[in-house]
Amino acid sequence: MEEHREGVVKDAIGILHRLPDINRKVCEYMIKFLRVFADPVHHSVTKMNVHNLAMVFAPNFLRCPSDNPTTIFENTKYEQAFLRMLITAKGDI
């Protein structure tokens, strides 16, 4: 199971590395910031865990191209999971 997760994380990071340079740098910066913000030490003050951060920030990272509200709603769980994975990934992006 852990090996599968590592493969999925590598694939997600691979997606980031295919972005144009400036977009990749912004994403890397934001993910590093969200990792600091998601540290359990800050939960008592911010009330923001990894799940909450992914819920708030995923729409800014990924945008569903559809205009159909049902499709947009269905995709949000995948967008959040993708960002959650990047925030919780071990090591550098």
Q: In this structure, what CATH number is given to the domain that contains residue 30?
A: 1.10.555.10
Which domain, by its residues, includes 58? 2-88
- Could you give the CA distance from residue 56 to residue 49 in angstroms, rounded to a whole number? 11
Residue 49 lies in a domain: yes
Residues 6+ apart with CB under 8 A from 51: 80, 84
Number of structural domains found in the chain = 1
Per-residue pLDDT of 36-69, as tens digits, reads: 999 999 988 999 999 999 999 999 888 889 999 9
Residue 16 lies in a domain: yes
Residue 93 lies in a domain: no
pLDDT at 2 over 80: no
Helix (H, G, I), strand (E, B) or coil at 92: coil
**CA distances from residue 39 to 44, 46, 67, 85, 89 in whole angstroms, order as listed:** 10, 10, 35, 15, 13
- Could you give the CA distance from residue 6 to residue 46 in angstroms, rounded to a whole number? 29
For 14-21, what is the mean pLDDT? 93
As given in the structure block, the two tokens for residue 53 are 């951060």
Residue 34 lies in a domain: yes
Instruction: For the chain, give the percent of residues with pLDDT over 70.
Output: 96
Residue 14 lies in a domain: yes
Q: What are phi and psi of 73, to 5 degrees?
A: -65, -45
The reply to whether the predicted model has a pTM over 0.95 is no
